Amino acid sequence: MKKDRLPLAEIGITLAGIAVMAAIVVTVDPLRDSVTALLQGDHDEVREEIDSLGVAGPLLILFLALLHSVVFYPAEIVDAAAGFAYGFFPALLLVMVGWLLNGLVCWTIGRSIARPLFDRWFGEERFERVERAIERGGPTLLLAMRLIPILPFSIVSYAAGAARVPLWRFVWTTLVGYLPITAISVYFGTRLEGLSLTDPLVLASALALLALLGAGHWVMRRQTSRSSA
């Protein structure tokens, strides 16, 4: 079977976009400091940078969410920092918009660029098996993948695009599946100054996070085994 040609134009545009993003990070001090803090896992520095920018802080959060498409830092740091700076509901809305934008970018890149590359790297037949597993698993598998914090958000989006997941299915499963973990991370951010392990809401959030991790892992194993049967 003849392989699809590599989408050289799309690859060039994507690389140019990454280069522009890197240049912005290097030349803009708040962005450079925030990215450095993210890579070092410095929650306090990220919060200070967002808080110091005032009305420009939300733009920084959106930019950091988009940056995750190429730099896989712990997404929960941005969620918690937003919760600390803006409170629960404004922060939750803001970061969900940011992660949806990130997902759409990665889904588009995955659909236009990643598929031919995956075919060559992993073999067309092997990737078709992955694609069939995602298709058979349907929305349930996509939701489960969003529930597991250890799976990088952007990687899941790339895979969904490469596997030709329909756009609307991708959008709603991203919003529904990623909302619980994001809400927990944002809530932890709102409680950082007076965080107490004896706080019933903190304990409930921690238990909910563990429950989501367990449920997502169980559903993924079940759906994967069912798809391979």
Instruction: Encode pLDDT of 145-170 as tens digits.
Output: 787 766 678 888 888 888 889 999 99
Distance CA 187, CA 181 (A): 10
State the greatest distance between any 2 C-alpha atoms of the chain, in Å, as a whole number: 62
Instruction: Pick the more confident residue, 117 or 145.
Output: 145
Q: What is the CA radius of gyration of the chain?
A: 19
- pLDDT at residue 2, as a whole number: 45
Tell me the pLDDT band of 1, cut-offs 50, 70 and 90: very low
- pLDDT at residue 113, as a whole number: 79
Tell me the pLDDT band of 6, cut-offs 50, 70 and 90: low
Using a 10 angstrom Cβ sphere, with 0-12 exposed, 13-18 middle and 19 or more buried, the burial of residue 125 is exposed
Query: Does residue 109 surpass a pLDDT of 50?
Result: yes
Question: Phi/psi of residue 42, each to 5°?
Answer: -90, 90
Distance CA 51, CA 130 (A): 43
Asked if residue 168 lies in contact with residue 160, where contact means CB atoms within 8 angstroms, the answer is no
Tell me the pLDDT band of 174, cut-offs 50, 70 and 90: very high
- pLDDT at residue 80, as a whole number: 87
CA 95 to chain centre: 10
Residues 6+ apart with CB under 8 A from 5: 116
Indicate the average pLDDT of the chain.
Answer: 76
Query: Does residue 141 surpass a pLDDT of 60?
Result: yes
Tell me the pLDDT band of 31, cut-offs 50, 70 and 90: low
- pLDDT at residue 8, as a whole number: 65
Count CB atoms within 10 A of the CB of residue 16: 10
% of the chain with per-residue pLDDT over 70: 61
- What are 214-225's pLDDT values in tens digits? 665 565 566 556
